[in-house]
Amino acid sequence: MKFALVIFETDESRHRIQTDRDAYRKAYEAWIGQVAASGKLVGGNALETEHTTPVTVRKAADGSSTAADGPTHPGTETLGGWFVVEVADRAEAVALARGLPTPETIEIWPILESA
């Protein structure tokens, strides 16, 4: 089964990471290296969250759209990136997410695979 591990950053997690970026990077790279070496990493990307603001495009029922600077759901957590993993089940995806040694929040979503 494939799952997306969706990573959210908070002001607190960003501050903790920036306090010791080298240690964070080392721990993060070790974790992702282990996931990749196990053959469970399918893909993923980090988003540029420090120097830019996302643009949100909203579609109306009449087909018109508006674009505005800022995340879709402003708040204390912002989307930081994601990984796609292929594992036996949800429990294994949760175990992988719990192993991330950095302070972000992770949502786990099953990926809808077409038949």
Alpha-carbon distances, residue 78 vs 16, 90, 98 (angstroms) = 15, 24, 19
The string of pLDDT tens digits covering residues 76-103 is 788 888 999 999 999 999 999 999 888 8
The string of pLDDT tens digits covering residues 39-88 is 999 999 888 877 788 898 999 999 999 999 887 777 778 888 899 999 99
pLDDT over threshold 70, residue 115: no
Give SS3 for 15.
helix
Alpha-carbon distances, residue 84 vs 11, 23, 27, 74, 95 (angstroms) = 25, 24, 19, 24, 14
Task: Say which residues have a Cβ less than 8 Å from residue 45's Cβ, sequence separation at least 6.
Answer: 81, 82
